[in-house]
Copies of this chain bind each other. A is one copy, B any other.
Amino acid sequence: MNEFEAIDRMAALLPERPDDVLVSIGDDCAVFRIGEERWVAAADMLVSGRHFLPAADPEDVGYKAVAVNVSDAAAMGARPRFVLTSAAAPNSETALACFRGVAAACREFGVYPLGGDTTGSDALVVDVAILGVLDGEPVLRSGARAGDLIAVTGELGASEAGLLALTEGIGGFERLKERHRRPEPRLEAGLVAARSGAGAMIDLSDGLASDLRHICRASGVGATVHLERLPLADDTRKLASLLRREPEQLAATGGEDFELLVTGSEAALKRIERASGIPVTPIGEVTVGDDVAFLLNGERIEGLSGWDHFET
């Protein structure tokens, strides 16, 4: 049983959905109604040795734990408001350092930490739950329609390249390492996308190859991606070349970009780019059917996949 089968089996155990829950498990966030307002909620857990290197600075880990949740809220088109942060740490100094990063990220993203828990453990584990508020309609994974363009914000592969530089002990590449340590969720682009006619949206946490499949499955569509169109920075290409890795494949499978994948018309994508000031790069098209094809210069590349958290 892999991670996604486990999640499907969990979904089958859910109690009956209350009327005030509008979107349940299966999107970047759940959506629920409180009075006249619509709120989103999600949680993400980071585990030492799985989501970050055991030697990582706990302050970076705390920062990242908040940033990845802000990214989930952004992917719904919501404004994040509150977090609850729990940390299990080998000692109270580590827990405090981690919270210092949490607090820094909260200031950065305009989020307030309502509370949480602190406890002992052998290795650092941080879980953050986030609450955000919607101005308009949420942008769901299920909104992709055949004929839409597929685009991504910013750049792909930088975080994976940074992680490889760290694990392979390669000097330099500080910008890439920082992208891995302190990702930059696309908060404003998400808000803009929601009011600019985005069809579907997801944040790229497990890697494009995985996350695009979530969009296709939820929307009942297929997709064609032209890998040579992926936006890669020069330092990402240089690092890939050093490690003799094909840069576009690295970018399509690498996790933790925390960019947004958006579907929509060419006009909608242009509006998002203009209003957010973040590059929005078309990389493919939504198709009829359920085939998800990755082409590199017209040639199909098989076997691309992102993370499975229970694979070892």
Closest to A35 in B: B35
Let me know if A47 is at the binding interface, CB within 8 A: yes
A22-55 residues with Cβ-Cβ distance < 8 A to B are 24-25, 29-30, 32, 34-37, 39, 41-45, 47, 50-51
A197-230 residues with Cβ-Cβ distance < 8 A to B are none
Let me know if A91 is at the binding interface, CB within 8 A: yes
Query: What's the number of copies of this chain in the assembled complex?
Result: 2
A82-123 residues with Cβ-Cβ distance < 8 A to B are 82, 84-88, 91-93, 95-96, 99-100, 103, 106-107, 112-123
Known: A35-B36, A85-B43. A3 touches B117 (CB 8 A): no
How many residues in A have their beta carbons less than 8 Å from beta carbons of B? 68
- Whole-angstrom distance between the alpha carbons of A122 and B122 in the complex? 10
- Kindly provide the distance from the CB of A30 to the nearest chain B CB, expressed in whole angstroms: 4
Are B10 and A99 interface neighbours, CB within 8 A? yes
- Whole-angstrom distance between the alpha carbons of A131 and B84 in the complex? 11
Are B47 and A92 interface neighbours, CB within 8 A? no
Which residues of the other chain, B, contact A112 by a CB distance below 8 angstroms? Answer: 14-15, 17-18, 21
Known: A29-B115, A41-B84, A129-B129. A96 touches B36 (CB 8 A): no
Residues of chain A having any CB pair with chain B under 8 Å? 1-3, 5-7, 9-10, 13-15, 17-18, 21, 24-25, 29-30, 32, 34-37, 39, 41-45, 47, 50-51, 81-82, 84-88, 91-93, 95-96, 99-100, 103, 106-107, 112-123, 125, 127, 129, 131, 309-310, 312
